[in-house]
Structure 1
Amino acid sequence: MRTLLSGGIVVSMDPAVGDLARGDVLITDGVITEVAERIDAPDAEVIDATGRIVLPGFVDTHRHTWQTAFRGIGADWTFAEYRVAMHGTLKPHYRPEDIYLGNLLGRLEALHSGVTTMLDWFHAAQSPEHSDAALAGLRDAPARSIFCLGGEFGSPDPVDGELRRIRDGVPDGGLVTMALGLRGPLLTTVDVVAADLKVAAELGLRASVHVGSGGANGSRPIAEFHDNGLLRETTTFVHANGIDDDELLMLADAGSSVSISPDVELKMGFGWPMTGRMLAAGVRPTFSIDDCPSAGGDMFATMRTAYVVQRGLDGSLNSRDLLEFATVDGARACGLSARTGSLTPGKDADVILLRADDPTVFPVTDPAGTIVAAGHPGLVDTVLVAGRVVKRDGRLVGVDLPALQARLLESRNRIAAAAGIALDGTWRPPTESE
């Protein structure tokens, strides 16, 4: 089967392919086979991309998707309040069905806004059934997803048995793959981290871990990884706000990646996003949403926050940098650079078409600058994942969204009632010290 995306403004994110003011993209059996100014393919299904910006889908390297039902409730929360609310108050009342709906609707929402690849950092594995439901939610969304199974925060309990059980049911090469979510040295012991990494290596899985500076206690998480021989090219460090300069160099030397969530980091007091410092140290940043109770779920806002903050701090970065972080660099951090992240012949056709004729961006003079400075989810007209059209003319294909939304509302209301919290905007969780 062949599909031709015809006549769009092509932003390939591949220096060898370049950008085209008017270009075509040919897809054969789900794989990009040619990108050129004009392609003759009379046997192909034609998707008219006139008035559209054609670029690779976005890559989100860290999202706690199970929390989707409580979108917006934590807009004013501190991190301490978030931990108490989501993990201490609400999570104990989640049933597997609630996890499934959160992951499915959350993944569809990300896809709707142009995120074709997403790492789901799952830390609500209260039972095997909860984990299975999370994975099922990802599988039922027509998107490229990485199920990153995390252990309970602060628990030393081994995860190898559950990790192996789930891994046995996730075939290689599919749209849904796996990773391991490490608890990290701030939440468990170095021995537990080492054991988890050993299992991940045996199973061929990448790892992701939340870290930050130690603040008053002076801990140095990256140095602790380094000193114990645990830094890996296959590990992504989430946030990493405030880590020391020598730790940045340790990350660069190891080839590790970093996932930055600028909106959550700023509003929850983690510190300035590390975008500029990482880049200066030789580490290519990637972007993530983190959690939708506290922040919006689209990559446009994420790029813009990181961009304006860094420009305000030191004037560095340009719009092309931001697009790279959100596409090719994200794909590399997920171990998927051979499959996605750019419009490169030989890669899977994970492609989004943005409306260039929308009044909010018209006329598009500089496509990259327009996407970063003025882009928004309403521009996402068409989405393809591995060559399959999953959103067309602004609507997800084959998804009964009203029915799913009704089920998610029932789930949210039941959990809130069981937890004894109001949904009128007046409830505020106590901090852990209260």
Structure 2
Amino acid sequence: MTIMTLIKNGVVIDTEPEPVVLGRVDVRIEGDTIAEVGPDLPAGPGAEVIDATGRIVLPGFVDTHRHTWQAGIRAVAPDITFGEYLRRVLGELAPRHRPRDVHAGNLAGALECLDSGITTLLDWSHIQNSPAHTDAAVRALHESGIRAVFGYCYPGPVEELAVATKGVREQLFDTSDGLVTMVIAALGPEIAGEERALAEWRLAADLGLPVTAHLGGHGRESAQRGLAFLEENGLLATPTTFVHALHYTDEEFKRIAAAGGSVSVSPVDEMNLGLGYPTTGRARAAGIPTGLSADTVVCSSGDMFSQMRTAHLLERGRPEGAGLGFTTRDVLRMATIEGAQVVGLADVVGSLRPGKQADLVLLRTDTLGMAAAHDPIGAVVLNADPSSVETVLVAGRPVKRGGRLLRHDLPAVLADLAETAGAVVKA
């Protein structure tokens, strides 16, 4: 039997094609799908009614790139450089993670996302220490209830890449709920070389999967050479997300746009790690779908409000007023429908268009930090924080209500995470 839900009396924000305040209208949900948005909608027999009086209703946020397993090492290195991150986090701490630690981190990290209104997550997972680690990561995503795109990054020999990746797809992604899907998280060409890139992108094309890769964040020469290699070998025919696209020229951004590429910006980490000044406005000006990401909580906040505010501040603060045309509406679009484009789910989530999945967030406005806000979109971007998130729905199912996460024994989740934190860092 299809469950009917009606969200009434909220101030509704939609984001497609551009963010707009619809005013006090209702959202009707049939099962897992948005059925209708409009004034004074009838509840219908047996419908559950959610009274959103004093609430802002909007699509759930989309995080386009997060190393979710790192929830157990939060703030372990808050002031490091990128080189120190590679040495400390990936060189020392990652190998110490047991499968149970990956499960604990991924589950807690995904729940952290839901708690703060992120309903869709691209989990850029470079913790495949063994098949058991991969199984633990994917299982945790399923258990959390989040909508996730699992970015499978295989670290082993390139000769084993295809067999390992195909095995993971066949064994872990034959699922009926449709909430967890898969992409290739590639290490080439800038990190692991061009031979590996050829294998990764060709495998992605063979499997019909997109690619997400750290591209353009390792200096000007590396960015130029890597992009040229991808173009010369026809690899950008496969949808590709450029993570940390910091060192491209405007002309190169136009080429990425023409190839159908997308960009993931991590505004807090890109500044904190010394990678470079986020290219938010330049990428979007070239016509590239550009989303936001938390990247890693070892040296960044994990909520989308912090990322939106940082992106807004840094873009508007560009020299000589170059970014003053960037608005709170632009950054909210990046956190919702544009982020959905980046992770390949724009027809599924990211806006309130009828027929899309009912991934929604209700924000409180009856707090001192949110009261009397004249522009609801400005309030979401500049004033709200995770404590504002009262209700979260994924595929029409409440995962948070009344400010509390549902379906999980949170003390047990936190206890597992604490055990992981102690075991990994003190090892």
TM-score class, shorter-chain normalisation, is: over 0.9
Amino acid at match of 1:113: S
Q: Which residue of 2 aligns with 1:326?
A: 335
Structure 2 equivalent of residue 401 of structure 1:
410
Distance 1:92 1:329, change over 3 A: same
Structure 2 residue aligned with 1:37: 39
Q: Of 296, 303, 313, which aligns to 1:298?
A: 303
- How do residues 120-269 of structure 1 correspond to structure 2 at under 5 angstroms? 120-152=123-155, 156-168=158-170, 169-171=172-174, 174-212=178-216, 214-215=218-219, 217=221, 219-220=223-224, 221-232=226-237, 234-269=239-274
**Is the contact between residue 156 and residue 189 of structure 1 (CA under 8 Å) also seen in structure 2?**
no
Q: Distance in 1 between matches of 2:218 and 2:126?
A: 22
Q: Is the 8 A contact 2:154 2:165 kept in 1?
A: no
- Asked whether 1:56 is paired with 2:65, we answer no
Mark the CA change 1:135 to 1:205 in structure 2 (over 3 Å): closer, same or farther. same
Indicate the SS of the match to 1:231.
Answer: helix
Indicate the RMSD between aligned Cα atoms, in angstroms.
Answer: 1.7
CA–CA distance in 2 between the matches of 1:19 and 1:215? Answer: 40
Instruction: Give the Cα–Cα distance (whole angstroms) in 2 for the partners of residues 226 and 274 of structure 1.
Output: 21
Q: Residue 312 of structure 2 aligns with which residue?
A: 307
Q: Is the 8 A contact 1:226 1:250 kept in 2?
A: no
Q: Deviations over 1:251-285 (max 9, x none)?
A: 11111100000000001111110101101212121
Q: Could you tell me whether the CA contact under 8 Å between 1:233 and 1:257 is conserved in 2? A: no
Report deviation, 1:152: 2.3
In structure 1, the residue matched to 2:359 is 350
Distance 2:17 2:39 in 1: 15
Deviations 1:60-83 (A, max 9, x none): 010001111111122111111111
Shift of 1:48: 0.5
For 2:377, the aligned partner's letter is: A
C-alpha separation in 1, matches of 2:56 and 2:30: 20
Contact 2:105 2:417 in 1 (8 A): yes
* Counterpart among 2, 5, 11 of residue 4 in structure 2: 2
Structure 1 residue identity aligned to 2:350: G
Partner of 1:429: none
Mapped to 2, the partners of 1:91 and 1:16 lie a distance apart of 40
Q: Is the Cα contact below 8 Å between 1:276 and 1:316 reproduced in 2?
A: no
Q: 1:98 to 1:16 in 2, by over 3 A?
A: closer
Per the TM alignment, residue 188 of structure 1 is displaced from its structure 2 partner at its CA by 2.3
Q: Which amino acid aligns with 1:291?
A: T
Q: Are 1:17 and 1:344, in contact at CA under 8 Å, matched by a contact in 2?
A: no
The separation in 2 between residues aligned to 1:344 and 1:21, in whole angstroms, is 16
Identify if the C-alpha distance between structure 1 residues 384 and 104 changes in structure 2 by more than 3 Å, giving closer, same or farther: same
SS at match of 1:39: coil
Secondary structure of the 1:243 match is coil
Query: What is the identity percentage for the equivalent residue pairs of Structure 1 and Structure 2?
Result: 44
1:379 to 388, 391, 406: 388
2:19 and 2:118 map into 1 onto residues whose CA distance is: 22
Q: Distance in 1 between matches of 2:159 and 2:212?
A: 18
| Aligned length in residues | 417
- Give the C-alpha shift of residue 216 in structure 1: 7.1
| More divergent stretch after superposition (295-304 vs 241-250) | 241-250
Q: Please, which runs of 5 or more residues in structure 1 have no aligned partner?
A: 419-434
* Matched AA of 1:342: S
Q: CA deviation at 1:212?
A: 2.0
Helix, strand or coil at the partner of 1:339: coil
Partner of 1:392: 401
* Contact 1:101/1:407, CA 8 A, preserved across alignment: yes
* Distance in 2 (alpha carbons) for counterparts of 1:98 and 1:118: 19
Aligned-pair distance for 1:233? 5.5
2:292 maps to 1:287: yes
Using the TM superposition, name which of 405-414 and 386-395 deviates more.
405-414
Q: Deviations over 1:141-173 (max 9, x none)?
A: 0110011101229x6454211211111131366
Comparing 404-413 with 170-179, greater Cα deviation is found at 170-179
Give the 3 Å change call, closer, same or farther, for CA 297–203 of structure 1 in structure 2: same
Residue of structure 2 in register with 1:27 after alignment: 29
CA distance in 1, matches of 2:132, 2:34: 38
Aligned twin of 2:69 = 66
Deviation of 1:217 after TM superposition, in Å, equals: 4.9
Q: Residues 213, 100 of structure 1: CA spacing in aligned structure 2 closer, same or farther, 3 A cutoff?
A: closer
Change (3 A) 1:45 1:216: closer
The answer (yes or no) to whether the contact 2:188–2:200 under 8 Å persists in 1 is no
Seen in structure 2, the aligned counterparts of structure 1 residues 104 and 16 have a Cα distance that, compared at 3 Å, is closer
CA distance in 2, matches of 1:212, 1:231: 15
* Alignment check: 8 A CA contact 1:236 1:333 kept: yes
Secondary structure at the residue paired with 1:198?
helix
